[in-house]
């Protein structure tokens, strides 16, 4: 059954332009729903609505906003089953991935509620005996642009702390997941009784995204931008925001390594490689995109990794919950991933598992003999394809891991905690997880990348920093004189 959209959500009202675009189920190519197609005017109306709501929302007591965040979390909890089904239908994800997203979202809102009870400033010493304070305040209207791969989690993360801090928002979800990343949130905010205009949702097709995006950044009422998506688009957004001197948080792509040392627990190592490389078909910003294995255990590791990965079932995620590997999001992504496999093979790599591409379905694929001239070594693949590369020393593993324009996350598997920390310290990434895969997120921890993986942090007090402005306020008590002559 097709999803029926009520329209876009602006100032607490559902409205439609009459124009729609097809929201496709990537498993079978059917139209999952017809999503409202907005343009510059709808974006402008949404910004105006957010601006109108800012005064009252930011003036609420911190605990009142926290209570609202908890109500949102509770509505999310109630809707876990239908959110999971929507994620399978609209996004092509496995049932378990849908359950994970649906249960993670309330945690984000609970964490955002908790953040409102933390200190909002610091007292600084003053040589003149002033009361000198660093205080934070909300910025105003923030534009949030979110991606399709984990639409519920990443939209939650993009909006919860920003709203808790007192900002009001315009959300533009990806055209691939206008419901799970956007209009679902409007439904939930409405049911939770959040005041009108605090969250506004504008959806649009890829044809209109340039003009909507332009308005969401350049409109003078917008004070901050939160973008999660590809590095290519992130660079454009960052440049545009910079030209207007607007604060911008960019969470972008990655090419993460999992380093498996010779003293690794083999079961832990192959589990981390399998989950990190193939969860949601490798369509995670912090997916394992290179498995680096110490040469003395390479053959044994590869044998066990192949054994594990070959058990992952591929198929339509809406038909069978045991289909862990669903389709890639669209034909363009499938062609890109196939391009990476073909390029690697043409340049001498060997496929040791998988390699099959059937429409949007790509088999979990392991490659050996991968060299730095191959796309699969350099570029983000964003699919279920991973090279397994041998290394001799820890220095060499660090060098290969850092040989990338990206720097999002990493994993290191070793029984030696000192060795793990020593490697982690030398990796040029925003995050690193020892004895785990690179895929990790917790709502209260600092999430973000280095190098071309972005700037700014989500999570906990780091998100509060991202979505507030710090001000210096002093109160003189007669201690500061002026130079003679004044
Ligand atoms: P994308 O860059 O194509 O799209 C992201 C969002 O930007 C979408 O909402 C899209 O509609 C919008 N957009 C596109 N062009 C725009 C423009 N000119 N102006 C304004 N908005 C525009 O990325 P995607 O394909 O949706 O997501 C996959 C990418 O996101 C991967 O590279 C992945 O690594 C990255 N990602 C990063 C993180 C992170 O936290 N670092 C998380 C998830 C995904």
**Residue positions counted in the chain:** 486
Query: Are 229 and 308 in the same domain?
Result: no
> Which atom from ligand 1 is nearest to the alpha carbon of 147?
26
Assess if residue 117 is contained within a domain: yes
Residue 453 CA: nearest ligand 1 atom is 41
- Alpha carbon 469 to its chain's center: 23
Hey, whose CA ends up nearest to atom 9 of ligand 1? 174
| 327-373 pLDDT tens trace | 999 999 999 999 999 999 999 999 999 999 999 999 999 999 999 99
190 and 337 in one domain? no
Q: Are 116 and 235 in the same domain? A: yes
Model confidence band, residue 197 (pLDDT cutoffs 50, 70, 90): very high
C-alpha 40/C-alpha 465 separation (Å) is 30
Residue 480 lies in a domain: no
Mean pLDDT within 64-72: 98
> Does residue 74 lie within any of the structural domains?
yes
- Do 142 and 276 share a domain, yes or no? no
Considering the domain architecture, whether residues 392 and 273 belong to the same structural domain is answered as yes
Catalytic residue positions, numbered = 251, 285
Contacts of 363 (CB under 8 A, 6+ apart): 314, 325, 353, 354, 355, 356, 357, 384
Domain count for the chain: 2
Per-residue pLDDT, 55? 98
Cα 105 to ligand 1 centroid, rounded to whole Å:
19
Q: If you measure from the C-alpha of residue 180 to the centroid of ligand 1, how many angstroms do you get, rounded to a whole number? A: 15
| Res 195 pLDDT > 80 | yes
Residue 262 lies in a domain: yes
Residue nearest to atom 31 of ligand 1 (CA): 230
Work out which ligand 1 atom sits closest to the CA atom of 447: 40
Helix or strand (DSSP H, E) at 388: strand 385-391
Summary mean pLDDT of the chain? 97
- 128-159 pLDDT tens trace: 999 999 999 999 999 999 999 999 999 999 99
Q: What is the mean pLDDT of residues 181-203?
A: 98
Residue 31 scores a pLDDT above 70:
yes
Note the pLDDT of residue 455. 96
Q: E strands of 414-457, at which residues?
A: 433-434, 450-451, 454-455
pLDDT at residue number 81: 96
36-44 mean pLDDT: 97
**Closest Cα to atom 26, ligand 1: which residue?**
147
Tell me the sheet residues that pair with 144. 171, 226
200/223 same-domain check: yes
pLDDT single digits (tens) 201-259? 999 999 999 999 999 999 999 999 999 999 999 999 999 999 999 999 999 999 999 99
What proportion of the chain, given as a percentage, has pLDDT over 70? 100
For residues 135 and 370, give the distance between their C-alpha atoms in angstroms, rounded to a whole number: 51
Q: Is residue 485 part of a domain?
A: no
Ligand 1 centroid to residue 147 C-alpha, Å: 5
Give the distance (Å) from ligand 1 centre to CA of residue 274: 25
User: What radius of gyration do the chain's Cα atoms show?
Assistant: 24
Q: Full-prediction pTM beyond 0.85?
A: yes
In the predicted model, is pLDDT for residue 394 greater than 90?
Answer: yes
Same domain, 416 and 460: no
Taking only the tens place, the pLDDT of each residue in 435-462 is 999 999 999 999 999 999 999 999 999 9
For 294, the token pair is 């110490």
- If you take atom 19 of ligand 1, which residue's CA is the nearest one? 213
Whether the per-residue pLDDT at 3 is higher than 80: the answer is yes
Mutate to test the pocket of ligand 1, among 145, 229, 340, 455 (most ligand atoms within 8 A of CB): 229
Cα dihedral sign, 107-112-113-117: positive
| Residues 22 and 156 grouped into a single domain | yes
Clarify whether residues 67 and 185 are in a common domain: yes
> Within this chain, do residues 234 and 137 fall inside the same structural domain, yes or no?
yes
Residue 139 and residue 180 in one domain: yes
Q: What's the pLDDT at 272?
A: 98
Ligand 1, pocket residues at CB < 6 Å: 145-149, 154, 172-175, 209-210, 213, 228-230, 233, 236-237, 251-254, 285, 380, 382, 408, 449, 453-454
Helical H runs in 193-297?
Answer: 209-218, 231-243, 266-278
pLDDT band with cut points at 50, 70 and 90 for residue 77: very high
162 — pLDDT class (breaks 50, 70, 90): very high
Q: Is the pLDDT of residue 1 over 70?
A: no
Q: How far is the CA of 145 from the centre of ligand 1 (A)?
A: 8
Same domain assignment for residues 248 and 266:
no
Cα(330) to centroid of ligand 1, in Å? 14
Question: For a pocket test of ligand 1, which of 147, 337, 410 has the largest count of ligand atoms closer than 8 A to its C-beta?
Answer: 147
Where are the extended beta strands (E) located within 108-150?
A: 121-124, 131-138, 141-145
Each residue's pLDDT tens digit, 18-29? 999 999 999 999
d(CA 281, CA 158): 23
Q: Cα dihedral sign for 43, 45, 51, 56?
A: negative
Residue 425 lies in a domain: yes
Best residue among 230, 239, 405 to mutate for probing ligand 1, ranked by most atoms within 8 Å of CB: 230
Is the pLDDT at 196 greater than 90, yes or no? yes
Best mutation site among 90, 233, 235, 240 for ligand 1 pocket (most ligand atoms within 8 Å of CB): 233
Confidence label for 17 from pLDDT (cuts 50, 70 and 90): confident
Nearest atom (ligand 1) to Cα of 157 = 40
Residue 486: what pLDDT?
94
Digit-coded pLDDT (tens) for 79-89: 999 999 999 99
Measured in Å, residue 199 CA sits from the centre of ligand 1 at 20
d(CA 316, CA 336): 20
Q: Which atom of ligand 1 is nearest to the CA of 233?
A: 2
Calculate what percentage of the chain has a pLDDT beyond 90: 97
Residue with tokens 């490659």: 367
Q: Is residue 349 domain-resident?
A: yes
Q: Are 249 and 139 in contact (CB under 8 A)?
A: no
pLDDT for the residue numbered 16? 87
Question: Which CATH number do you get for residue 24?
Answer: 3.40.605.10
- The range of the structural domain enclosing residue 352 comes to 256-434
Comparing CA positions, the residue from 403, 422, 463, 414 lying closest to residue 154 is: 463
Ligand 1 atom index nearest CA of 454 = 41
| Residue 301 covered by a domain | yes
Q: Give every CB contact of residue 127 below 8 A, 6+ residues apart in sequence.
A: none
pLDDT 10s digits, 4-14: 899 999 999 99
Looking at residue 281, the DSSP 8-state letter turns out to be G
């Amino acid at each position: 059954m097709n999803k029926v959209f009520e329209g876009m959500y602006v100032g607490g009202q559902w409205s439609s332009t009459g124009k729609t675009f097809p929201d496709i189920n990537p498993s079978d190519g059917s139209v999952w729903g017809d999503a409202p197609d907005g343009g510059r005017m709808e974006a402008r109306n949404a910004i105006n609505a957010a601006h109108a709501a800012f005064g009252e929302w930011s003036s609420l007591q911190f605990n009142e906003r926290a209570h609202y965040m908890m109500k949102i979390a509770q509505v999310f909890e109630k809707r876990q089953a239908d959110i999971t089904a929507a994620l399978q239908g609209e996004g092509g994800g496995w049932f378990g991935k849908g359950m994970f997203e649906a249960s993670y979202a309330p945690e984000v809102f609970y964490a955002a509620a908790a953040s409102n009870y933390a200190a909002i400033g610091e007292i600084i010493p003053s040589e003149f005996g002033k009361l000198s304070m660093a205080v934070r305040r909300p910025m105003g209207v923030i534009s949030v642009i979110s991606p399709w791969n984990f639409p519920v989690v990443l939209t939650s993360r993009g909006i919860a702390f920003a709203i808790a801090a007192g900002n009001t928002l315009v959300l533009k979800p990806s055209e691939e997941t206008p419901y799970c990343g956007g209009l679902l949130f409007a439904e939930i905010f409405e049911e939770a009784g959040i005041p009108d205009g605090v969250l506004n949702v504008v959806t649009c097709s890829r044809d209109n995204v340039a003009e909507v995006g332009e308005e969401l950044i350049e409109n003078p009422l917008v004070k901050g931008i939160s973008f999660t998506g590809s590095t290519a688009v992130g660079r454009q957004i960052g440049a545009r925001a910079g030209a207007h001197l607007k604060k911008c948080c960019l969470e972008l792509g990655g090419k993460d390594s999992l380093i498996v040392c010779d003293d690794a627990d083999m079961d832990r190592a192959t589990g981390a490689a399998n989950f990190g490389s193939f969860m949601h078909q490798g369509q995670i910003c912090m997916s394992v995109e290179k498995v680096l294995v110490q040469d003395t255990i390479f053959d044994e590791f590869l044998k066990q990794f192949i054994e594990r990965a070959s058990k992952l079932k591929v198929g339509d995620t809406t038909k069978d919950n045991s289909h862990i590997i669903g389709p890639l999001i669209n034909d363009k992504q499938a062609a890109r991933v196939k391009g990476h496999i073909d390029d690697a093979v043409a340049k001498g790599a060997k496929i040791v598992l998988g390699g099959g591409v059937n429409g949007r379905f790509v088999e979990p694929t392991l490659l050996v003999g991968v060299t730095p001239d191959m796309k699969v070594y350099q570029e983000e693949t964003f699919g279920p394809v991973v090279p397994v590369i041998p290394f001799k020393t820890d220095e060499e593993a660090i060098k290969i891991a850092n040989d990338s324009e990206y720097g999002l996350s990493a994993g290191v598997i070793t029984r030696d905690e000192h060795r793990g920390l020593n490697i982690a310290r030398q990796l040029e990434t925003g995050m690193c997880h020892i004895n785990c895969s690179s895929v990790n997120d917790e709502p209260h921890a600092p999430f973000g990348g280095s190098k071309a993986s972005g700037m700014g942090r989500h999570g906990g007090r780091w998100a509060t920093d991202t979505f507030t402005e710090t001000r210096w306020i002093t109160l003189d008590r007669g201690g500061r004189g002026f130079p003679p002559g004044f």
